Amino acid sequence: MLKQFLPNEHVKSILDISPEELKARGIKGIITDLDNTLVEWDRPSATPQLIKWFDEIKKHNILVTIVSNNNEERVKFFSDPLKIPFIYRARKPMGPAFYRAIQQMGIKKEEAVVIGDQLLTDVLGGNRSGFHTILVVPVASSDGFWTKFNRFAERRILNWFRKKGMLQWED
């Protein structure tokens, strides 16, 4: 059962994900979380480094959809300047938002990756729906109110994976 929480890959930052490697694996679309995956949960806009990464992704003809549990105002304010489609109040780890994202991008599940910073929402939701999942280290050490509860459970799961040698992770 805990294997549902095990990501297919893990990286320190979304900026470490190479568009060339994704393209070589046949990836045509990225479903990404917003808060603490792309930017800190309380940062309203993309950083210059993130904007450059999105530009590289677009140059390789890889589509991006932001799928967030946050409200429309938060996600729209971040996404609109970047011209990135989004799904808000996604209710992750439930699957419908992930399927809606690939439908909007016009790609198959096998052609997409799910990227996020939380095991209990992004990884579990992506894995349960049959997507390739990539876990990133949260960009901020602080979290919003509700995420703090998830982090407590995540630490226990990550420690179990570490002890079993299934995941090397740095906090």
pTM attached to this predicted model: 0.90
Q: Is residue 171 in a domain? A: no
**The pLDDT of residue 1 is above 70:** no
Q: Is residue 117 in a domain? A: yes
Q: Is residue 138 in a domain? A: yes
Half-sphere CA count of 38, side-chain side, radius 13 A: 28
Distance separating alpha carbons of residues 12 and 93, to the nearest angstrom: 22
Q: Identify the domain containing residue 134 by its residue range.
A: 2-163
Band (54; pLDDT cuts 50, 70, 90): very high
Q: How many CB atoms lie within 10 A of CB 96?
A: 13
Looking at the structure of the chain, the number of domains it has is 1
What is the enclosing helix (H) or strand (E) of 133? strand 132-136
Question: What is the model's pLDDT at position 152?
Answer: 78
Give the domain CATH number at 147.
3.40.50.1000
Question: What is the model's pLDDT at position 53?
Answer: 98
First CA to last CA distance, the chain: 24
Question: What is the model's pLDDT at position 151?
Answer: 72
Band (169; pLDDT cuts 50, 70, 90): low
Q: Is residue 9 in a domain? A: yes
By percentage, how much of the chain surpasses pLDDT 90?
76
Q: Is residue 169 in a domain? A: no
Q: Is residue 112 in a domain? A: yes
C-beta of residue 87 within 8 angstroms of C-beta of residue 94: no
SS in 3 state form for 14-74? HHHCCHHHHHHCCCCEEEECCECCCECCCCCCCCHHHHHHHHHHHHCCCEEEEECCCCHHH
